[in-house]
Amino acid sequence: MFLWFVCCLVVARLISASDERCSKPPQVDNSIFIAMKEEGQISGIYSCIKGYHLVGKGTLFCNAFDEWTVPTATCHLGHCPNPVLSNGKFNYSWPVKVSDKVTFMCNDYYILKGSSWSQCLENHTWAPPFPICKSRDCDPPENPAHGYFKGRNFTSGSNITYYCEEGYRLMGTPDQQCIDGEWNSDLPSCELIQEAPKPTAPTKYGKALLAFQENKDLCKAIQDFIKRLTETGLTMEELKHTLEMKKAELKGKKCCPNIVAKKTGHRDTLKNKFSSWF
């Protein structure tokens, strides 16, 4: 059955038999062809009759050779396309009519993702969209940058564990489980471990200040020593000589305990002055 109607829109004018320059359009069974002329361009569209739905592109144009472009449209029985569901089954009445509903169910070891039903609408489409049947097993997991996982079984209920390369720390959930075709946590990431900044070398001023702080007691001892030296009225040379004598005396006692060195004159005087120091 093929009907050819010529109509006009507000911006188009009716194509008369004398004005028509294009040949008869190709036939599409169970359809109506509507042609129009607008701004010198002749076009046409196929519309399926009631109980059929359009599959393909239904719009044609008359080219410069006064020929219609080849149509890709066909009109199939049923107001909406037949439902499809891989790895599952459904029940519906054929041919499909407006407002008809279809229900879906998945095979064993598959889980339904989407709506379990759909309805044929006036515009020849199904709503909600058809669901899919997804395996209960999970797809192989991804590896984060600078990371990896351990585990070879991806079936439902199996577990894997994520690790990071040396120098990186794991951010997220390390242990994940396959539940009804989906891993139960988001993919973790591996974050670079930042090294502690190295201390800056102190300046000359800093070194001097540090040395002064570490030797506060030494500085005070030197100040006390110079003060006591001034009070005795002795010079540094005399003190040096006394210290050398004290050192020799200690060595003599260590090696020859029975020999006692005699100290007379100037040496005894120095000893008396510094007796409280030793």
What's the CATH code of the domain at 96?
A: 2.10.70.10
Average pLDDT, the chain: 78
Six token digits for residue 47: 């519309």
Same structural domain for residues 11 and 52?
Answer: yes
CA 75 to chain centre: 48
The Cα–Cα gap between 168 and 120 comes to 54
Does a structural domain hold residue 36? yes
CA angle 183, 188, 194 (to 5 degrees): 170
Indicate whether 62 and 106 sit together in one domain. Answer: no
242: in domain: yes
Phi, psi of 231 (to 5 degrees): -65, -30
pLDDT band (50, 70, 90) for residue 276: low
169: left (phi over 0), alpha (psi -120 to 50) or beta: beta
- Over residues 139-193, the pLDDT tens digits come to 999 999 999 999 999 999 999 999 999 999 999 999 999 999 999 999 999 999 9
State how many domains the chain has: 4
Q: Rounded to the nearest 10 degrees, what angle do helices 266-273 and 236-255 cross at? A: 100
Choose one of 135, 170, 205: the last residue of a domain.
135
Instruction: Tell me, yes or no, whether 250 lies in a domain.
Output: yes
On whether both 30 and 71 belong to a single domain, the answer is: yes
- What average pLDDT score do residues 92-114 get? 92
pLDDT surpassing 90 at residue 198: no
Please report, as a single letter, which amino acid is at residue 220.
Answer: K
Reported confidence tier of residue 236, pLDDT bands at 50, 70, 90: confident
Of the three residues 27, 48, 77, the one that is the final residue of a domain is 77
| Domain that residue 239 falls in | 229-267
Alpha-carbon Rg for the chain, nearest whole angstrom, is 52
Query: What whole-number percentage of the chain has pLDDT above 90?
Result: 39
Around 153, how many Cα atoms within 13 Å sit in the side-chain half-sphere? 7
Long-range contacts: 173-179, Cβ < 8 Å, 24+? 176/141, 178/137, 178/138, 178/154
Measure Cα distances from 159 to 134, 138, 182 in Å. Answer: 19, 11, 12
pLDDT at 134: 94
